[in-house]
Amino acid sequence: MDNDKPNKDLFVPVDTRQDDSEKISRPSLSFWQDSFIRLRKNVGAMIGLVVLIILIVMAAIGPSLNEYDQFEQDLSRAKMPPKVENMGWLGMDGTLSTVQTNESLEQAETNALMRFNNDEDHIETTVLNDGSNGEPAEVEAVYDIYAAKDMEGQNFWFGTDGLGRDLFTRAWEGTRISLYIAFLAAAIDMVIGVAYGGISAYYGGRVDNVMQRIIEILVGIPNLVVVILMILILEPGIISITIALTITGWISMARIVRGQILKLKNQEFVLASRTLGAPDGRILRKHLIPNVLSLIIINTMFTIPTAIFFEAFLSFIGLGLPTPLASLGTLVEDGFQSLQIYPHILLFPAIIISLIMIAFNMLADGLRDAFDPKMRE
C-alpha cells in the first residue's frame, strides 16, 4: 500500500471550516422541475402524451383532410369498406370477402357469388378446399366493391356507414365532440370541486359539517342513476350530457381537495411557516397550492377518460347525442348495428376511443408517480 509512505509535506493543517462542509452537493430543483424531470423519464406517460397529441391534432384537422362532409349522405355508397391507396397490405384495399362452406363445391361457389349479388365481373373466387378430403368444400370470394360501383377514383379511408357518410370525417368529428365534452366536464368538475372542497376546508366548523353531510348523501346515490335521470329530463345534447356528467362528478374532487387542505393546514411545515410570520398569501402560494395542485391535476387527468367513457356509454344505451351528430359513442353504437357483416364501421371509432382512454390513463399514472414525493430520490 502506497498509503504507508505518504509525503511528509502533506502533513500540514488546512483550514476546512469555511470550505464546503455545508455545500449542498446536488442542484436544488423546484417541485415542478423535479416532477417534470421524472415525468419525462416515464416511458409509458410519454407514449401516452404523444398518442394524445396526435389524436388531438387529428381531431382538429382530420375532418378537413378529405373532400367529404360529415353529414353528406349517399345511399348508393353505403357501407363501403375502408380503402387507402397502397395500403392494401393492411386489409384496407376496399374489398369485401367471404368464405362459404358447403357439402358440394358448386353450391359453395354459388353461395359465395350470391353473397355479392352475382356481380361476377368484380368477384374473384378461390377454392380453399375442394371437398375431396371428406371435409365440406370451402370457397372464398373477394369482391372489389369500389370497382363494382364504379368509384375507383374515390377512397374512403375508414369506409362509409349505413347512410353512405364518410367514416374518416365522422370519426374525427366524433373525437372532437367527445374530447370537447370530456374537457368541459372535467373543467366544470374541477371548478366546482375545488371551490366546494376549498370552502369546506377553509371555513371549517359548522359550514364544513353541513357541507360534508350533503356530500355524504350525494355519494350514497349511484352516479349512474343520477346521470341517466338527468339525461332523461334534459333531452340529449352536448350541453345536457356535460351537465349530467358533472352533476356528481365534482364530488370526488371536492373530497380530495378538502382532505388535502385539512391535512396540510395542520402540518408542521405550515405551522412553522406561520410561526415565522409568513403572511397567509405566502402560505397559500408556497405551501397549499403546490401540494393541492398536483392532486387536482392528477384527479382531472383521471376524470377525462371517465367522462369519455360515460358519454359513449350514454350513446350506447340510447341516451347519447341526437342524430346526425357524431360522437365516438354514437359511432361505436352505430357500428354494432352491422358488426357481423361490416365490422369496419365499429373498428375505427372503437380503436380511437380505446387509444384515448389508454393514453389518458397512462399519462395520468405517470403524473401521479411524478408528483408523488415518495418517489423522489
Name the residues that contact another protein, by CB under 8 A: 1, 3-4, 6-14, 16-17, 19-22, 25-26, 41, 44, 216-217, 220-222, 224-225, 228-229, 232-233, 305, 309, 312-313, 316-319, 332, 335-336, 339-340, 343, 346, 350, 353-354, 357-358, 360-362, 365, 377
Three cell numbers, residue 246: 358533472
* Rounded-to-integer distance, Cα 317 and Cα 350, Å: 16
Three cell numbers, residue 79: 357501407
**Minimum distance from residue 302 beta carbon to another protein (Å):** 10
Q: Give the distance, in angstroms, between the CA of residue 212 and the centroid of all CA atoms in the same chain.
A: 31
| Cell 349505413, residue located | 162
Terminal-residue alpha carbon distance, the chain = 36
**Minimum distance from residue 281 beta carbon to another protein (Å):** 33
Between 270 and 320, name the residue whose CB sits nearer to another protein: 320
Between 201 and 304, name the residue whose CB sits nearer to another protein: 304
Between 43 and 289, name the residue whose CB sits nearer to another protein: 43
Between 112 and 270, name the residue whose CB sits nearer to another protein: 112
Q: Which helix (H) or strand (E) holds 64?
A: none
**Comparing C-alpha atoms, which of 342, 357, 361, 359 is closest to residue 298?**
361
Q: Where are the alpha helices (DSSP H) in 221-343?
A: 223-234, 238-265, 268-275, 280-283, 289-316, 328-337
Q: Which amino acid is at 76?
A: S
Query: What are the beta bridge partners of residue 93?
Result: 83
**Minimum distance from residue 343 beta carbon to another protein (Å):** 5
E strand intervals along 61-212? 95-102, 123-129, 137-144
Query: What are the beta bridge partners of residue 101?
Result: 138
Between 19 and 121, name the residue whose CB sits nearer to another protein: 19
Between 53 and 339, name the residue whose CB sits nearer to another protein: 339
**Minimum distance from residue 112 beta carbon to another protein (Å):** 17
**Minimum distance from residue 358 beta carbon to another protein (Å):** 4
**Minimum distance from residue 61 beta carbon to another protein (Å):** 25
| Cell 403524473, residue located | 367
Between 153 and 220, name the residue whose CB sits nearer to another protein: 220
**Minimum distance from residue 354 beta carbon to another protein (Å):** 5
How many beta carbons lie within 10 A of that of residue 114, not counting itself? 12
